[in-house]
Amino acid sequence: MKVQIEKEHLLGLIGRSQNIVEKRNTMPVLINVLLDVEDTNLKLFATNLEVSLTDYAQAKIFEPGKVAVNAKNLFDIVKELQDGPITLEKQENNWLKITQFKSVFNIVGISPDEYPIFPTYSTKEFISFDAKALTEMIEKTIYSVSNDETRYHLNGVFFENLKSGSDIHHRMVATDGHRLSLIDIPANGENSGNNGGVIIPRKGLAEIRKLLDSVEGEFKMAIEGSQLIVKKGSTVLMIRLIEGKYPNYKQLIPQNLSKKVNVSRESLLSSLKRVSLLSNQKSKGVTLCLTEGKMKITSNNPELGDAQEEIDVDYSGEELKIGFNAKYILDVLGSFSDESVDINLNDQLSPGIIRPAGSENYTCVVMPMRI
């Protein structure tokens, strides 16, 4: 194998693989990327067995072939090289020789036969998705995904298509048992056929979001068997879906809440950040006390002290005192930029709903804490 490729193209290829290659030494082979030279392209493969990436860039081919090398070492070297063409050449012992001008590096590689068999797909049933819309859906749900690995079916976001009359919309839902976030966006008239819903793992969603950071317009997405396939330009992400049944999340959304508060998002966000500094470091508990036109936020930690702050709100119901984990509310407030927030409550033992004011397509449920 011998190939010459411009630095910017090679750096882009290897850069996209950095978050995917396995950092833990559970399977040492997964810290490598596979380079495959054929036709007029240098193809790159990276996988951690949950998320797999394949990409390619045009290059000048002298000799086809394959080699697997340490992704981080290759990235660090290429990053420091000058702009211009770089030559990659596989040596007889599976080492990779990297040459540019007067610089020569030889890095240890492994036989491409040791690299895991890469997932493939055959479906042609891709739907077009707006990159900005999916990024927004991920940002408004990923923070609610559970970190508890024993509840593996909650370690991802539930994605489904819902049909109402002739309207189709996409829905994403995440919950960790203490909070839930749900967002709907209209579909562009195409139905991907996964009406039963699928669970996309957190790491896969994070990689999709990174891929879409540099993308404007549309990309393609499909579900085949237990895989989600995301395509944009030359880049293909394949994500192994979480198997298992997602809980009936609709039961977790309270109905007919009697008390409604409207408050400035920025006021509530900054007050919570300050008051929670003196809350219990583990539970992050704060108390909200609502009276007409006012919300008093308090925290108390015997080891640190206590804090309280009062902000103006639009509220005219009876007095209510309710405890919440401040981090859960801060996560919700940080996920959107609307000026004001609607909070719907019932009593101090019932979950509350937080939404951007006047919005029905984004719903966040937060369980209260005992105070």
Domain with CATH 3.10.150.10 in the chain: 2-114, 127-250, 254-366
Rounded Cα–Cα distance for residues 172 and 145 (Å): 11
Q: What kind and span of H or E run contains 169?
A: strand 167-175
- The beta-carbon contacts of 109-112 under 8 Å, at least 24 apart in sequence, are 109/32, 109/67, 109/68, 109/69, 109/70, 110/29, 110/32, 110/68, 110/69, 111/68, 112/34, 112/36, 112/66, 112/67, 112/68
Residue 127 pLDDT grade (very low, low, confident, very high; cuts 50, 70, 90): confident
Q: Check residue 190 and give its pLDDT.
A: 54
| Average of per-residue pLDDT values in the chain | 90
Bridge partners for 363 per DSSP: 182
pTM of the model: 0.87
Q: Which of 25-34, 234-243, 270-279, 353-362 has the lowest mean pLDDT?
A: 25-34
Q: What kind and span of H or E run contains 207?
A: helix 202-213
Q: What mean pLDDT comes out for the span 213-228?
A: 85
Residue 24 pLDDT grade (very low, low, confident, very high; cuts 50, 70, 90): low
Q: Check residue 122 and give its pLDDT.
A: 87
Superfamily (CATH H level) for 254-366: DNA Polymerase III, subunit A, domain 2 (3.10.150.10)
Rounded Cα–Cα distance for residues 182 and 52 (Å): 27
Q: Give the CA angle between residues 345, 350, 356 to the nearest 5°.
A: 35
Residue 6 pLDDT grade (very low, low, confident, very high; cuts 50, 70, 90): very high
| CATH code for residues 127-250 | 3.10.150.10
Q: DSSP of 72-129, one letter per residue?
A: HHHHHHHHHSPSSEEEEEE-TTS-EEEEETTEEEEE-EE-GGGSPPPP-------EEE
| CATH code for residues 2-114 | 3.10.150.10
Q: What mean pLDDT comes out for the span 124-152?
A: 88
Residue 213 pLDDT grade (very low, low, confident, very high; cuts 50, 70, 90): confident
Sheet harboring 96-100: ordered strands across?
Answer: 60-63, 2-6, 85-90, 96-100, 103-107
pLDDT digits (tens, 9 = 90+) for 335-368: 998 999 999 999 989 999 999 998 889 999 999 9
pLDDT digits (tens, 9 = 90+) for 71-117: 999 999 999 999 999 999 999 899 999 999 899 999 999 999 988 88
Rounded Cα–Cα distance for residues 174 and 199 (Å): 9
Q: What mean pLDDT comes out for the span 268-291?
A: 92
pLDDT digits (tens, 9 = 90+) for 284-308: 899 999 999 999 999 999 888 999 9
Contact of 323 with 285, CB cutoff 8 Å: yes
Q: Check residue 289 and give its pLDDT.
A: 95
